[in-house]
Structure formats: C-alpha cells, structure tokens
Structure 1
C-alpha cells in the first residue's frame, strides 16, 4: 500500500481541505498519516523517513508555503530520502516558483480538483 504523510504548515489552522484530501487518498487506496496543524518541517521529515513514506503532502493557506515546502525538500534530501513532496495552498508567485525550483514535485492552488490531486499522488509514487 502506498503511504502518504500529510501536514499543515506554518500558522495556518484551516485543515478542512487537507483532511478532505486525506479522505480521498484513503478512499483511493493510500495509507494516510495526517500529522495535524502547525507541524515543524523537521517533524515532517522525521516522520516521513520513520514511516517509510512514498510521498509527502503539505498544505498552507496563510503564506509561507514556498518557504516551508522548500525546507521540507531540503530536509529530506539531507537525510538521503528520495520522497516526492506535493504542496497545496497559497503564496506569492515568486515563492511558488522558488519551491518548485527547490524540488517540490507538484503545486495545487485553489480550485484544484480532488481527482487531479489523487492522480498526482499516484503518479508521484
């Protein structure tokens, strides 16, 4: 079974979307480990490695997505883990470009469909 770690980043406390994505991923046959809100990137990296995750999904709607997603990718690389990171949320266009350049596999903005997101996780793993 494909194992995915999901987390909310930064100060964003709105987790309905990421929990809904987790439900759709679980219904599609993924094992989902949801870490919760305001999770530090070091914790996400640690759990992804400990749980032998096939992918990491990050969510942030309060700004900082690019920064935190980049830190997560860097942390995984530093630990030698080749785990794709998919990110959803809102940030400045330059920050989205920066996180993509840092190695984020895919970004989803407002309006992305659940089908598109589930398909992207399937393709990433």
Structure 2
C-alpha cells in the first residue's frame, strides 16, 4: 500500500521559549510524537521568540508546540505569533501551547490564534489525535 496524503509524516517543532528550564514534559511529548510517526525537532532550552520563529520557518514545520511553564506565556507566545505572521507562516502552522496556563490567559491565547492549550494531565493520545486531525494539509 502506497503512502497517501493522510499518511504523510507530520513535521513538528517542540519549543521551549524564554527562561523556563523545565523540559521534562517537552521531552515526553517529543518521544510520544516520534512514536506516533511524527517527525520531531526539539528546540532545546531558553530559546528567544525570534529563534522559535526562525526554526519554524526554516524547518517548514506543520505543527509548533510551545512548552512553557514560566508564566511568561502572555508575552512570549504573542511575540512568536507576530513573528510567524510577519513571515507569512502563521496560517500554515498549527500552534499549540502546553503548560500551566490560567483559564483567562488560555482564552486570550486562543483569541490570538493558538489552536489548543494542553494543561497538566492532558493525555498523549488526545494530543496525538488532535495533531493528526488538525495539522495543515501540505502539497
């Protein structure tokens, strides 16, 4: 059986932005995504928003997963979205945020264009299924 559009490999960037040094969750998600058949790029720790934007554009990823636990999501995530918009990459990238995000901040992130926020206790299966169902179609 040949590989069709539905079976193409989804490219994901798992990104740690800002001064947040806690990356265990990002590693767990990266491994789960790889096991699900996604191609995963991990940014490493302490990346500036512009570095995340550059990596998203240069690696031509379908999905950007931002892992942030520092509480700076309300400033760093909008900077990333602005950068993606400047490069014309926002429309073609599914942006997800993972971390401890207060409900009112989650609403603001969703209004900015974040597709989904996954908090503590979100199941890996739920995240994988969400990515499979919502990753942008590529030609």
The match for 1:56 among 25, 45, 64 is: 64
Contact 2:17 2:52 in 1 (8 A): no
Matched residue, 1:67: 75
CA contact (8 A) 1:66 1:91 kept: no
Name the CA distance, whole Å, in 1 between partners of 2:134 and 2:48: 23
TM-aligned CA deviation for residue 41 of structure 1: 1.1
Partner of residue 96, structure 1: 106
Distance in 2 (alpha carbons) for counterparts of 1:24 and 1:79: 29
8 A contact 1:55–1:124 mirrored in 2:
no
- Say whether 1:36 aligns with 2:59: no
Mapped to 2, the partners of 1:115 and 1:80 lie a distance apart of: 30
Q: Secondary structure at the match of 2:56?
A: helix
Unmatched segments (≥5 aa) in structure 2: 1-8
Give the alignment's TM-score, normalised by structure 2: 0.84
Provide Cα deviations, 1:59-101, integer angstroms capped at 9, x if missing partner. Answer: 1112112322222122111110121110001133332221111
TM-score of the superposed pair, with normalisation by structure 1: 0.93
* Aligned partner of residue 118 in structure 1, secondary structure: helix
Equivalent in the alignment of 2:19: 11
Gaps in structure 1 of 5+ consecutive residues:
none
- In structure 2, do the counterparts of structure 1 residues 98 and 79 end up closer, same or farther at CA, with 3 Å as the change threshold? same
